[in-house]
Amino acid sequence: MLTLAPIGFVRSTRTKMEDNNWDTENIHVELDQAQFSADAFAGLAAFSHVEIVFCLDQVDPAKIETTARHPRNNPDWPRVGIFAQRGKNRPNRIGTTICRIRKIDGLDLYLEGLDAIDGSPVLDIKPWVVEFGPRGAVFQPEWMSELMQGYWGR
């Protein structure tokens, strides 16, 4: 059995799971003061981006997908397995997003581009390191590019 404890929580102006316009939200991660001091963020301001690992805890367990489906139930897009999409109804309800750091204030990490709703448990924060990014050419199917139009809202 695997047990994870949150290191903090998302604080956001978005309280419901919706798919688009994430960049319109004011959002930050608030570290758990019982576990951390502001020293946990020491050196992080030298990075432009972080990767946030969070729990999609408000996804109804009955809606977890384990097989293929049309992304966003759009029949114009192909049926693909849950691991060929980034849908929220994932088996372990884990989300990851690379976000721009706006500022750090004590135990609060202010971000741009985090697609998590208010109250989501944060499991980890990692600095985004170029050398950990994709190596070689990057490609994706056209339907994914269509799906992502409007996702960030910019």
Per-residue pLDDT tens for 37-84?
999 999 999 999 999 999 999 999 999 999 999 998 899 999 999 999
**Fold of the 8-148 domain:** Elongation Factor Tu (Ef-tu); domain 3 (2.40.30)
Query: Would you say the C-alpha torsion 133, 135, 138, 144 has a positive or negative sign?
Result: negative
Could you tell me the pTM of the whole model?
Answer: 0.91
pLDDT at 11: 97
Per-residue pLDDT band at 126 (split at 50, 70, 90): very high
Tokens of 121: 């448990």
The total of other beta-carbon atoms located within 10 Å of residue 47's CB is 13
Q: Which residue has the higher pLDDT, 21 or 54?
A: 54
Nearest to 10 by CA among 117, 112, 102: 117
